[in-house]
Structure 1
Amino acid sequence: MRGHSHLVAGHVPGSSLLHRMPLWLKAALLLAVAVLCFTSSAISVLTGFWTTTAVLATVVLVHLRSGLPALRLWRPVRMMLVFLVLIAAYQCWQHGPMVAWQVIAAIVATVLVSNLLTATTPVDELLDGLASVVRPLQRFGADPDRFSLTVALMLRSIPFVIGAFDDVRDAAQARGLERNLLARSLPVVIATVAYAHQTGEALAARGLGEPADAGNDPAARRS
């Protein structure tokens, strides 16, 4: 399945300034972009329009200067293109074209800067950062390692399912079954369940994903 190699959050090695930035600074920039894009309109529509336009242009420029492939810039936009068109149409109808552009530019800029963060940060570093954020919640029963493992599985599983949908759609079209709901959905379900079983078996073989005290639980030992 194409989903095996289609990793939305795949790290792209490089030596740009963005690659060398610490994770906390990238996260702060992501937060700053989101705040600028989604609060500037509170001042005025014109301020929101120009702010989101400038932020989006800056994000695109940084992406190109970081040595990342152009496909990496276009892929997340393509995946949500239908939703962007619908949102733009509604906003244009309700509030006019300037507000519609501001909303779309804000969404795209935020998604692209998130994409920049994952593209320029190794997955291990990203997961360690997430675990460190959760670590203060250990006193309330949170497990940072389990949380980072869950995120790692999500980063691999979601792209796999997207790739499975693409492959099954292409296969159905080749057979003239593009309107057959069963032909387009059943193979995806089978592939996803098989992938989940394989992932679970791999985790179990490495002793991952089990609570630390599972070996002391009588019920766990009996099972």
Structure 2
Amino acid sequence: MNTEILDKVSQAVTDARLAGKPAPGRPTLVKLTGATDYQVRKALAALTQAESTPDEPAADVEGPEPDSSLPPGRLPRPWPLAFIGLAAAVAIWGGWVRLGELTGFGPINLLPGLGSGFTFNTALVLPLSVEFYSAYALRVLLASDRLTEHTRHFARRSFIASLAVGGGAQVASHIMVAAKVISAPWPVTTIVACVPLLVIGLATGLATLVKRDASAGDRR
């Protein structure tokens, strides 16, 4: 807990009480203290705990304490996640590549006229862009309290959107392959063709918000 933020919040609440006014809400405290909404919530929770137990010092409100009644032992190892993640990655990658091939993505010569040129399968850009952005948005969503609520809200909504797009792509890919479709309908092709552009816009916007929050935090 940032003691400076805690002191500012405590002083604002005390001043309001002495003036006979109701305690200020979180948006007001954010403006008064210059802290983030997350920091204000933590400070208010710490003050509430301190008031309910005045003889004990306020502690950081990070979550429930571990149950000491449980028998000692090792925590489960996370190594199974490597196999789970690998299996999911292979399935997702294959679905995106198949969908790309059905919608016109495929090998192209990036350097025509220069000997044999350089051939690249553009179907690879779909899993690379969408799934990497999903991971980036989730990382931002779970980042530290230096980020503003606006940035976290943008990351949350775009992460959910990327999951929806990825899920829809997997469904469309498997349905068309099972139905032995050799070329996707034009509405599907139109949507898939716009995916890389959408990801570029979302990634640029989220990175800009993160950079702005980081600069604002360094100035405080």
Report the structure number with the largest CA radius of gyration.
2
* Structure number with higher helix proportion: 1
TM-score, normalised on structure 2?
Answer: 0.27
TM-score, normalised on structure 1?
Answer: 0.26
